[in-house]
Amino acid sequence: MTLDPADMTIPRPDREFTEFLRQGRFMIQRSRSSGRHVFYPRVAEPGTGARDLEWVEASGLGTVYATTTIYPRAPEAPYNVVLVDLDEGPRMMSRVVSAAPDAPIGLRVRARIDQSGDTPLVLFEPLAGEQGDLG
């Protein structure tokens, strides 16, 4: 018996995630059975293999867990790459957009969706009054 790929519905959570971003919605997955949130989009919960993931709206809030500053060749400006611990639990890689290229560990941030390129991205901005761990 040969399976025809046209007859199969292949879950593509990465495509669903991108489509949500195009709609202006930051969505992550949550397991119905464990209640744990999951990011990067996938078909099964890591650790348990549960295939009961549902899409839920993310709060958009998080804390910078790790950071590095990239110094490209001139005339490009330096920028950061960060790992953000979302308040829901998962950790994601992104950037903190602000006036300075550094984003201190511990900085509280809020997500925003950047749709300026071909593919929408989740970027973060510092919450008002936040400084992070400067020491």
The answer regarding whether domain 5-126 maps to CATH 3.40.50.300 reads no
pLDDT of residue 128: 82
| 8 A C-beta contact, residue 56 and residue 86 | no
- Tell me, what's the pLDDT at 4? 52
What pLDDT was estimated at residue 132?
Answer: 55
Q: Express as a percent the part of the chain with pLDDT over 70.
A: 87
Pairing mode of beta strands 27-31, 37-38: antiparallel
Coil, strand or helix at 56: strand
pLDDT value of residue 134: 46
Placement of tokens 């925003």 in the chain: 112
Give the predicted TM-score (pTM) of the model: 0.85
Query: CB–CB of 131/108 below 8 Å?
Result: no
pLDDT tens digits, 73-114:
999 999 999 999 999 999 999 999 976 788 899 999 999 999
User: Rounded CA gap, 91 and 84, in Å?
Assistant: 5
